[in-house]
Structure 1
Amino acid sequence: MQMLRSAINAVLPFPEEEWEAMAACWHPVSYKRKTVITAAGDTERYAYFVTEGVQRAFCLAEGEKDATLVFSYTGSFAGIIDSFFLQQPSRYYFETLTHSSFLRASYTDIRRLMDAYPLIARWIHLSTMHAMAGMMERHIEALTLSAEQKFRRLLTRSPHVLQLIPHKYLASYLGIDPATFSKLLGGTRL
């Protein structure tokens, strides 16, 4: 729970009353490696906070080629956020890449907290805006940078992912061919 509290406080610290209400809604759950937690067509019922493991959200493009959208790992929030907040069927999949443990809170509990505590609603708003800003930055990079530039940005921003995440998923995340990713990795001093 302390890891969750630290992640919340990094965005907007809560007084004890809000923290206790929030903490009461999060419950531990674990999944095996390569488990699809949320499938396309399902409505996301939970928000997740990762306490252990690595996951990804991905979509299936035409021809069943998958495209990795985002990774989550220890200390981050996870799940299919648009499906969760809109309570609409997901267009994406959320799966574990390794054995994963989470704290999770239901949509019903989060909605209740947002209605009862304006500070919690503000925290959710700010957290969602930070996530959206990150996705917009990544979208701009995908549209404007070369494969090498995308690769170098990844190494600058998150060098630890090379040890955490299979390279084929990193290549998919960057929108580059796995062979190109391997070539770039081979030509880089780590």
Structure 2
Amino acid sequence: MRDAIAETYPQWFKDFNARLTEPGGFYRSNKARKRDFSDTETGRVTFFAPKQLSATGFADKAGLFRLMTLRSSDQFNTTTYGYEDRLRDVSGTRDVVFMNPADIAKLGLTDGDAIGLATEAADGVRREKHGLMVYSYDIPQGCIGAYYPECNVLIPLSHHAEQSKVPAGKSVSARIIRSSMRQPEVPLAP
């Protein structure tokens, strides 16, 4: 394996096996650290400005929030291992919407209220998720958070990274909707 690595990346791993026990390990040079920009057209550092100033693609609008989907502490990618998020002190459920206390008050809601989320997208597809619960959390006003994959249904496929086209679960335009669906009263233990 090391021989294959050395063959693939000789500029960094030449004689990999022989150098394996060298003190300090392998140094991989970093041109920017050395201020070496000789491989650019001008020989100087090059900065690129974004095509748009708002990465979200939408302006602030009354009644709309910026939804970010989140992982819990007991989750790896889309695999969840339990219902205990020790980072946010959530236990027994993942069907919560993290909201700023001022936003909760402005909407006349309280912790534990049943709500739903609906996303706004130009494609005309109706995307809603019901059975969620208000959870007061230290999050910026105008922003809300919810767990994925539970809230993936809210993400329009058109909301993606510009180059890779990977669906983006951050800064999704969403609004709070009233929901009659209640949270289960018992923890959903596996």
TM-score range, shorter chain: under 0.3
| Structure with more of its chain in helix, by fraction | 1
